[in-house]
Structure 1
Amino acid sequence: MQMKVILGVAILIGGVAFAVAQTDHSGHGDGTNHAAHGQADGTALTEPGQGAFAALSEVVTLLEADPATDWSQVDLRGLRDHLVDMDRLVSFTEVEEEPVDGGLRMIVTGDAQTLAALRRMVPAHAGQLANDPRWTVDVTQSVSTVELIVTSDDPAVAARIRGLGFFGLMASQDHHSAHHLMMARGEDAHAH
């Protein structure tokens, strides 16, 4: 038990030290040393803020740590645009869900920018969903909507589909991190 406590304290101290090191930008001008902000009470934040910024920060850290990074191919702007699409999908999409035999029919829409994001995101993610043999996926597009139908012959899977709903289905199939890194490296992220 004592060894577990010692290990826990060592991990905690190491994590705080790492977080402080990550926030020390002492090369910044006066008043912009991030390490000095919010640490008067001995605490340090580890989250770099807004979600898209955090995702970009994480990718930049990985790219910089990889000596094989081909900087002439890096496309962080493309990744940023994709992260904006993800935000529009989650924050601004209007969804009408209708149970169907074996699953769910989802009709999604939004303003012009959201609809454009849905046209980029939903068919691409439907391809990832279709890799799961437990269900069948169909996507159709009209002038003002994107329709996603996901069904299964297995009643338990059908219940899961309905429970996940549109947003849960869009977040499933944990491929997002690899997808984002591929995009940042300038690779065809939809070929995987």
Structure 2
Amino acid sequence: MRIPAIAVTLLAFSVLAARPLTAQEHVHTPGMTHPAPPAQLPTQGGQAAFAAIAEIVALLQADATTDWSKVNLERLRLHLVDMDLVTLRSRVVATPVAGGAQFLVRGTGESIAAIKRMTGAHVTMVMNSGGPRVVRTELPDGVRLIVTAADPGDAAAVAKLRGLGFIGLMVSGDHHPAHHLALARGDRMADHGH
């Protein structure tokens, strides 16, 4: 009896498919490469404000004491909008003064109010933390900050203030993460006017 060719082919494939391959049968040849293992997932949410809010949400969810009736992530989002406006959409003119520097921080549209809110709150925190002396004056389109070292005769401290500039002064200190968490938790003391 003659077996049709298709049946022989199917039988051969089924025998080969049923036979497990072992690692010892895998032969490497020169120049052979393997695909890279799957990459680790990114840790950022794709945009800084989005990632900051996602981090806060994760902290709130992990904390069994979170009072969800007080949580207000919109306040945090609005604060992050202010941070963006001040950081990226304001104009700063720095001028050396005795013992430090003067910063004229100006904007247009929404950035004016953001400049006033952010600098108002931050100047208070700088002064309360023993930082440099800051005199803040509101202008129609922003603020004037005169920042002087605690010891105006300390050349290194004065150079540091001038080197930091306005944005360096704004980001100095480690209070920002705690402030963002307090805003999201609904702590009224953390408010900047939102």
TM-score normalized with structure 2 length? 0.75
Distance in 1 separating the partners of 2:64 and 2:86: 34
Native 8 Å contact 2:108 2:141 kept in 1: no
Distance in 2 separating the partners of 1:134 and 1:175: 13
For residues 103-118 of structure 1, the aligned pairs below 5 Å read 103-118=100-115
2:162 is the counterpart of 1:137: no
For residues 60-139 of structure 1, the aligned pairs below 5 Å read 60-139=57-136
2:190 is the counterpart of 1:189: yes
Deviations 1:153-184 (A, max 9, x none): 22211111000000100010121000000000
Native 8 Å contact 1:137 1:149 kept in 2: yes
Native 8 Å contact 1:135 1:157 kept in 2: no
TM-superposed deviation, 1:41:
5.8
Query: RMSD of the TM alignment (CA)?
Result: 1.6
TM-superposed deviation, 1:135:
2.0
**What amino acid sits opposite 1:42 in the alignment?**
P
Aligned twin of 1:19: none
Q: Using the aligned pairs only, state the percent identity.
A: 47
Give the 3-state SS of the residue equivalent to 2:128 in structure 1.
Answer: coil
Deviations 1:123-172 (A, max 9, x none): 11011111243521111102122011110222211111000000100010
Judging by fraction of residues, say which structure has more helix: 1
Aligned twin of 1:52: 49
Q: Tell me which structure has the larger Cα radius of gyration.
A: 2
Deviates more, 1:86-95 or 1:126-135: 126-135
Native 8 Å contact 2:73 2:184 kept in 1: yes
TM-score normalized with structure 1 length? 0.75
Specify every segment of 5 or more residues in structure 2 that has no aligned partner in the other structure, as ranges: 1-35
Larger RCO (CA under 8 A, 6+ residues apart) = 2
Distance in 2 separating the partners of 1:184 and 1:137: 28
